[in-house]
Amino acid sequence: MIQLEKLSKSFADKDVLHGIDSTFSSGNCNLIIGRSGSGKTVLMKCIVGLFEPTGGRVLYDGRDFCRMSKRERTMLRREMGMIFQNAALFDSMTVLENVMFPLDMFSADSYKDRRRRAEFCLDRVGLADALQKFPGEISGGMQKRVAIARAIALKPKYLFCDEPNSGLDPKTSLVIDELIYGITKETGTVTVMNTHDMNSVLGIGDHILFIHQGDKEWEGTKDEVLGSDNRRLSDFIFASDFLKKVRDAGRAQAAT
Amino acid sequence: MFILSFLRALGRYLQLMGRTFAVPERWRMFLRSYLREMAQLGVDSIGIVLLISFFIGAVICIQIKLNIQSAWMPLWVSGYVTREIMLLEFSSSIMCLILAGKVGSNIASELGTMRTSQQIDALEIMGVNPASFLILPKIAGLVTMIPLLVIFSTVAGFVGAYATAYVGHIITPSDLTAGLQHDFTQWFFWMGVIKSLFFAFIISSVSAFFGYTVEGGSQEVGKASTNAVVSSSMLILFSDLFLTQLLS
């Protein structure tokens, strides 16, 4: 479980996050949504420790990340996996070497076992036949799948995904969502995902945190999100004409 | 204003070096990176070092013979001056200035691209010390390879000088050999090697600093690469002054 308590962040004289409170529980896909510039990437970076929060606390199963020593942070980070917006694969390594990298760094297993684990992870994301390819030789969707395999190689307790669907077509996005959702349910990780993809919100949002201009505006589940009467959330959700039509059709059907 | 920004950059550089000189988390991974960097930064530079040193050795020999040597000077003076210039300045300092362009821009653009494509963030999230993992093998690799490059450069310079004797017939091979062997001071060789070790550290660490601390996109990577080359070159020139004074 990850708890955010009054988390705030400022840059010079600009306040980006204002006292965010939330709880992300295990085995759930926790989605942070909001418009571009609302502060969701800053929030994600504060949670994983790439930015130091100006105020408040981030608790990992009760352990305060902000008060940890450098060594404790390093140890905690080994329990984290992260999928970056642009996959962030190491260009000079093959797909297999990318997935084996965290295992090579931190696992005490033999080479054979480490390789077996990496191959298992790549098989799990459907890339068992791309082991020797370099990141530049595979598509964006495949790169994201390699990033997922690398993130889960060390069986993390906490999985973070920064806009994993950006730049992907809807069908590939669905594949990525299903993978993240499936892995979360199988392994019971605390998954925190930053997105503005409505398909992800409605498909895998066990817990949704809506951020507006650095404030927590709304919190709920995917079943509650469409029926919410929060105006800002509605403006965000129904920015797409298609969803608006679906909502209006639903309302019309309910009225008759 | 300039002094303030210089001091700020110096502070950040020292902080980065503090994180860089940490015990590697996995020696096996460090050795793998170290060997790769030795090949990429050192072995891949042998060609350009040999080429430039060959021609500079030849040109020095011709210039001294045609423009400096006179009837009251001994015949071996061209070979002697060629040897001293190659040993004392060219093969250490000037060759390192050339390498600052090739190796420095390579290091800065590689690390800068890794920074902008979030590969460094990915390492940090995994619990790896990115500074130590990425920069330490580069510094160690270049510092290891530079004495070899100095030796190759000196030898290539002498070969160039012999080419003017055998092919250009500017000087007789025996006069050149006499000059190259005249009053040889072994310390001059070691002086060149010691200086090059300092310069190798400057090139690798300063270029890594500019690449590692890039903020922005591809344009900033290009700027960082240029700044790395300019700053390394300036620092090499300044430190050459002090080191020459100190070691002579």
Task: State how beta strands A80-83 and A158-162 pair.
Answer: parallel
In Å, how far is A223's CA from the nearest CA of chain B? 32
| Residue B69: pLDDT over 70 | yes
- Chain A residue numbers with beta carbons less than 8 Å from the beta carbon of B126 are 77-78, 80, 101-102, 105-106
Find the DSSP H helices in A153-230: 170-187, 198-204, 222-225
| A77 and B127 Cβ atoms separated by less than 8 Å | yes
Q: Which residue has the higher pLDDT, B57 or A172?
A: B57
Residue B85 pLDDT greater than 90, yes or no: yes
Q: Round to whole Å and give the CA distance between A19 and A4.
A: 9
Report yes or no: B218 at the A interface, CB cutoff 8 Å: no
Beta strands A63-64 and A55-60: pairing type? antiparallel
Q: Is B122 near chain A, with CB under 8 Å?
A: yes
For the stretch A148-179, pLDDT in tens is 999 999 989 999 998 888 878 888 888 888 98
A212-227 average pLDDT score:
88
Closest to B236 measured CA to CA, from B144, B104, B38, B85:
B104
Greater confidence (B2 vs A138) lies with: A138
| Among candidate residues B194, B204, B158, B157, the one with its CA nearest the CA of residue B42 | B204
Can you tell me whether residue A169 is helix, strand or coil? coil
Nearest residue on chain B to A153, alpha-carbon basis: B126
pLDDT value, residue A241: 65
For A202-216, A219-233, B75-89, B113-127, which range has the lowest pLDDT when averaged over its residues?
A219-233
pLDDT digits (tens, 9 = 90+) for A72-98: 888 898 899 999 888 899 988 999 999
pTM over 0.80: yes
In tens, the pLDDT along A191-208 reads 999 988 888 888 888 999
Question: CB-based contact (8 Å) between B215 and chain A?
Answer: no
Once rounded to an integer, what is the mean pLDDT over residues B89-110? 94
DSSP category for residue A13: T
Is the Cβ pair A74, B26 closer than 8 Å? no
Nearest to B119 among A76, A78, A88 (CB): A88
Q: Nearest residue of B to residue A71 by CA position?
A: B127
- Whole-number mean pLDDT of chain A? 88
Q: Which residues of A touch B221 (CB under 8 A)?
A: none
Any idea which of A4-13, A219-228, B196-205 has the lowest mean pLDDT? A219-228
- Enter the tokens of residue B116: 């902008």
Phi, psi of A212 (to 5 degrees): -130, 120
Which residue in B23, B26, B41, B207 sits closest to B132, CA to CA?
A: B23
Under 8 Å CB pairs connecting chains A and B tally to 51
- What was the pLDDT predicted at B189? 93
Q: Which residues lie closer than 8 Å to A166 by C-beta, 6 or more apart?
A: A85, A197
Extents of the domains making up chain A:
1-79+198-256
What pLDDT, on a 0 to 100 scale, did the predictor assign at position B108?
Answer: 96
pLDDT value at A250 more than 80: no
Q: Please, which residues bridge with residue A63 across strands?
A: A60
CB A148 within 8 A of CB A176: yes
Q: Scan residues 22-41 of B and list those with Cβ closer than 8 Å to A.
A: 25-26, 28-29
Say whether A91 and B25 touch across the interface (CB within 8 A): no
Largest pairwise CA distance in chain B: 72
Q: Which fold has domain A1-79+198-256?
A: Rossmann fold (3.40.50)
pLDDT tens, residue by residue, B126-178: 889 999 999 999 999 999 999 999 999 999 999 999 999 999 888 899 999 99
Given A78, A88, A104, which is nearest B122 (Cβ)?
Answer: A88
- How distant is the Cα of A47 from the closest Cα of chain B, in angstroms? 11
**Residue B167 to residue B132: CA distance in whole angstroms:** 50
Q: Where are the domains of chain B?
A: 2-247
Helix (H, G, I), strand (E, B) or coil at A9: strand
Residues of chain B neighbouring A104 (CB-CB closer than 8 A): 26, 28-29
For B107-123, the DSSP string reads: HHHHHHHHHHTTHHHHH
pLDDT at B121 over 70: yes
Q: Distance (Å, rounded) from C-alpha A158 to C-alpha B217?
A: 29
* Closest-CA distance of chain A to residue B127, Å: 5
Contact, B90 vs B153, CB < 8 A?
A: yes
Nearest Cα residue in chain A from B117? A88
Of all residues in chain B, the one with the smallest CA distance to A147 is B122
